[in-house]
Amino acid sequence: MSPEAFFRELLGKADIAVDGGRPWDLQVHEPRAFARVLRDGAIGFGEAFMEGWLDCERVDQMAERAFRADLSNQIAVRTALLEVLKVRLSPLGSRTRSFEIGERHYDTGNDLFQVMLDPYMVYSCGYWQRAGDLAAAQRDKLELTCRKLQLQPGQRVLDIGSGFGSFARYAAEHYGVSVVGVSVSQQQIDLARRLCTGLPVEFRYADYRDLNEPFDRIVSIGMVEHVGRRYYRDFFDACERCLKPAGLLLLHTVGAQREEATNAWFDKYIMPGVEFPTFANVAAAGTQLVIEDFQKWEGRHYDRTLMAWFERFDRGWAGLREHYGDVFYRMWKLYLQGCAAAFRVDRLCVWQFVFSKGGVPGGYSFGHNYPLD
């Protein structure tokens, strides 16, 4: 069977046609793409899409169908094995790679993220329980996080992986706390400092392993995915070292239903070294702390967030095109819409853990309901 015939038959199992007229159908502009994908797997598909050999109006709908039909397990077992070995042998989460992710992804350009994100510049999942738009969803996520941490005026808070300073800014403005944020992205820090001017907030270009000072609360939102499973214990050791007795840690992370290799194209072009933890990974690594609360968010929360980011990115593309170019547009579309599909089918989800150091006197009182008035 030729590569083209193989892929036509394979895609047909997910109701995806080659050169069809529906939004989720795959358009093939270069016939060599079939052999390239068969040879190189995820990287081959991603690079062919970036170069315009392949296209799709709605990548999220195509990927959703592919996920539901489990097409990825029917292609090139040998290629998949090589990708697993590559992921396992690379030094994910090492000090060197922790700064590489800052340079490769988060330093892509503040102009891009200012177009794509909400006014608070939150680059993580919004909370859409009651929100009708991206800005409201991100405000609700920040408020929910502050309530779970039980912030009080005068407390000192550590934000590991502080991004553009969204949590630090919100917590300082609304809860009267001081915040120290650490990040491996210098561009994020530069913008965060400007956005937090006049607030009791400090940002440092540093690795979490270098921290050794006391805090009442610690928060980490969308950062542990970059730590790497072999370094989870180091992460929790740093948190335990810096947390005051009875202090709280809130960990917000993308979670995987099972431990598996990261998509090779995603690892190469989007977030090098990323690994999504399983619940067992987190629970086993954080044994020196007490799990006080756990909340799983439905995949729809990140699905809606990613699609909202793409809509804003697409609307603002005219002002970004000269700087980034059309290959970047196709790469970013594949990233945002493809990830949205993974959450839509619950291949990935979002978790929020609350840990304490030694337990909370009288117990952690918030339970599982966090009303947002």
Candidates 125, 242, 339, 349; catalytic one: 339
Give the pLDDT score at 71. 84
Using a pLDDT cut of 90, give the percent of the chain over it: 77
Would residue 339 show up in a list of annotated catalytic residues for this protein? Answer: yes
| DSSP-derived secondary structure letter, 20 | -
Rounded to the nearest integer, the mean pLDDT of the chain is 89
For domain 95-298+345-356, which CATH number applies: 2.120.10.30, 3.90.120.10, 3.40.50.1240, 3.40.50.150?
3.40.50.150
**Range 349-369 average pLDDT:** 86
Amino acid at 355: F
Mapping DSSP onto H, E and C, the string for 98-145 reads HHHHHHHHHCCCHHHHHHHCCCCCCCCCCCCCCCCCHHHHHHHHHHHH
Residue 15 has pLDDT above 80, yes or no: yes
Coil, strand or helix at 157? strand
Coil, strand or helix at 156? strand
Domain boundaries, the chain: 3-75, 95-298+345-356
Calpha distance 348→344 (Å, rounded): 8
Residue 359 has pLDDT above 90, yes or no: yes
Residue 72 has pLDDT above 90, yes or no: no
Give the pLDDT score at 20. 97
**pLDDT tens-digit profile of 229-280?**
899 999 999 999 999 999 999 999 999 988 877 889 999 999 988 999 999 9
Residue 194 has pLDDT above 90, yes or no: yes
- Phi and psi at 276, nearest 5°, equal -90, 125
**Range 184-189 average pLDDT:** 91
Calpha distance 193→201 (Å, rounded): 8
Structure token digits, residue 94: 């090492």
Structure token digits, residue 248: 């709280």
**pLDDT tens-digit profile of 92-128?**
454 554 445 445 554 568 899 999 999 999 999 999 9
